[in-house]
Chain A
C-alpha cells in the first residue's frame, strides 16, 4: 500500500503542470481581460438572477400617468404602493432599468445559444474535413468558400420575415450563419494534429474515425475554439441587435438591447436617457467580451490574425 504522502506529491505535480492553470495565471495578469471577465459575469448574473426577485418591477407594466420620469424618481401608484425608478421610465411609464435587465436576458440568451449552434456545426464540420483530408476535405472547404460569399444578412432577413419572428428561428438562423470561420479554424488545427503520434496510437488500437475525431482531435483544438467562441458571442449579439433594430427580431412589448436602442433612437431628442442607458450597457458588454477574447488569445497563446 503506497503511503499517503506519495499520493499527495503525485497529485501536486500533476496540478502544477496543468495547461489550463498556466493560461489562467497569464490571464489573471491581464487587467483589461479580467475586467472583461468580471463585468461579463456581473452583467449576466444581473440579467438572469435579478428578475427572479419578488419585488422586481414588471418590465412591460405601463403607467401612462407616469410618463418619462427621470432617474432615481419615486412614484406612488393609485393603490398607494410606491415604486422606485432607478433609471426613470419611458413614455409609457415603463421602468427603463427593468426593461434593460429583461432585454439583456434576451440578448445574452441569443448570444449564448446561437454561438452554441455555430460551435456545434463548425467544430463537427471542420474536424471531419480536416481529418478525412484529400478530395473530401477540398470539396467541403470549397463549399465553405462559396457560403462565405453569400450575403448572409439577406438570407437571415428573408427567413425571419417569411417564417415569423420566433426566437428559436433567430437562434438557428444566426447560428447557421456564424459557423463558417469556426469550421476553418478547427480544420486548420486538425490538419496539423492528425499526423501526430497520439492519433497514430489511437488508430493502431483500433479506434473508429468517429472516436478519433470526437475523443482525441477535438479536445486538442480547444484553445483556438474557446478564443473564437468568446469573440463570436459579441458578433452574434450585434447581429441580433441589427435585426431587432430593423424590426425583424424581438417583437414588442418584449425587448432586447437592440430593440431598446431602436426605440431610444426614435425619441433621442425628447428623451435621451432612452437611448443612452441601453446603448452604454450594450457597448460595455461587447467591450468586455472583446477584451476577454483578446486576453484569452494571449493567455492560451493562439496566434493572432489566424482566420
Chain B
C-alpha cells in the first residue's frame, strides 16, 4: 500500500471506531436503569412530559439515536441535562483546554524525563547506577497517582510553597497536576526505553558500527536510538488513554474543572448528552493519537506498512 492510501484506510478505520463507540455508549446509557430527572423533586405528569419533549426523550429510542447522530454530524451535541441552561458544546468548550493542557504537559514531562533516564541506564547495563535508576522507576510505577499527587501537594505545595494546590484560574496547581501525571509515565517510559535500547545494542549492526570506528555515543544516538525508540512511540497511544484516565484522578485531587470531572458528574447524574459528548471527545483524542502513532511508526520502521 502506498503511504496516502495507508493513511486513508487508517482514518476510515478510526471514524468507524468512533461511530462504534458513540453507538455503544448511546445504548448503554439509555438502556441502563435510572434517568436524568430521578433526583429532582416530584414534578407533575404534565411538567415531566414537557421536560421529556424538550430533551427529545418522548420519542422511540431508535428515532432518538438517528436524530442524535444527525445532530452530532452537524456538531450539535444537544443541551446538557445536568448543567441547566448550558449546551454540551459550551461545557466541553470550557473544560477541554484544562484536560488537554494537563495531559500534554504531563506527556512532555514523561518523555523528557523517561527517555534520557532509559538511554542513560541502557548505556551502562547492570551497573549500580542502572540498578538504582530502575529501582526508582519500578517504585514510581507502583506508587499510584493518587498517592504521588497528595504527597507532591503536601511537600512542593504546602510546605515549600512553590505551587498552588487547588483550582485552575490564577494558580499553578495544574502544573503540579501535570507533574503528578508525568512522573508515573516517566517511570514506565524509562523502563521501556532501557529494555528496547538494550535489545538494539545487542544486534549485529551495532557491533559493525563500533568495529568500523563509530564512537560509543554516536552508536548509541545515531544507530541504536532509532530502533530503540519504536516501542516508546507505540506506547504513546495507550499512554494517552492512561493519561486521560489519570486525569480523572488528578482533576479531583487538585480541583481542576476539566473534562474528567464533568464526565464523572455526568455519569452520576445520568446526564445522557454530556456523557456522550465527553466520551466522544476522549475517544477522538485517543483515536487521533493512535493514528499519529501509527504514521510515525511507519516512518521509523517502513517494514510495518508492507506487513499490514
Contact = CB atoms under 8 A, between A and B. Distances in A.
Chain A interface size, as a band, is: 35 or more
Contacts of A159: 28
A149 B24 CA distance: 14
Contacts, number: 122
B139 A287 contact: yes
Contacts of A151: 21, 241, 244-245, 279, 282-283, 286
A284 to B, nearest CB: 8
A241 B138 contact: no
Interface string A229-253: 0000010001001100110100000
Nearest to A151: B282
Nearest to B245: A153
A258 B147 CA distance: 10
B142 interface: yes
A157 B275 CA distance: 11
A120 B149 CA distance: 35
Contacts of B34: 162
A304 interface: yes
B248 interface: yes
Interface stretch (B66-74, B166-174, B191-199, B211-219): B191-199
A183 to B, nearest CB: 16
Contacts of A241: 144, 146
A261 interface: yes
A245 B154 CA distance: 18
Interface in A131-188: 146, 148-155, 157-159, 161-163
A208 interface: no
Interface stretch (B75-83, B97-105, B260-268): B260-268
A275 interface: yes
Given A151-B283, A162-B33, A282-B144, A242 B245 contact: yes
Given A151-B279, A157-B267, A268-B150, A162 B138 contact: no
A152 B267 CA distance: 14
Contact of B264 (A155, A246, A279): A246
Interface in A269-297: 269, 275, 279, 282-284, 286-287, 290-291
B87 interface: no
Interface string B1-30: 000000000000110110011001100110
Contacts of A262: 146
A33 to B, nearest CB: 12
A290 B231 contact: no
Contacts of B248: 153, 157, 242, 246
Given A149-B286, A153-B248, A305 B192 contact: yes
A285 to B, nearest CB: 8
B264 to A, nearest CB: 6
B53 interface: no
Of A152, A154, A161, the most chain B CB neighbours within 10 A belong to: A154
Contacts of A283: 139, 142-144, 147
A99 to B, nearest CB: 17
Contact of B253 (A265, A269, A275, A304): A265
Q: B-side binding surface: helix, strand, loop or mixed? A: helix
Contacts of A305: 192, 195-196, 199, 231
B273 interface: no
B141 interface: yes
A268 B153 CA distance: 10
Contact of A304 (B21, B141, B199, B263): B199
A286 B142 contact: yes
Contacts of B14: 149
A154 B146 contact: no
A307 to B, nearest CB: 10
A179 to B, nearest CB: 15
Contacts of A290: 138, 141-142
Interface in A206-234: 234
Nearest to B142: A286
A146 B17 contact: yes
Nearest to A235: B141
A224 to B, nearest CB: 16
A158 B142 contact: no
Interface of A: 146, 148-155, 157-159, 161-163, 234, 238, 241-242, 245-246, 248, 258, 261-262, 265, 268-269, 275, 279, 282-284, 286-287, 290-291, 304-305
Interface of B: 13-14, 16-17, 20-21, 24-25, 28-29, 32-34, 138-139, 141-144, 146-147, 149-150, 154, 158, 192, 195-196, 199, 231, 237-238, 241, 244-245, 248-249, 252-253, 263-264, 267-268, 270, 275, 278-279, 282-283, 286-287, 290
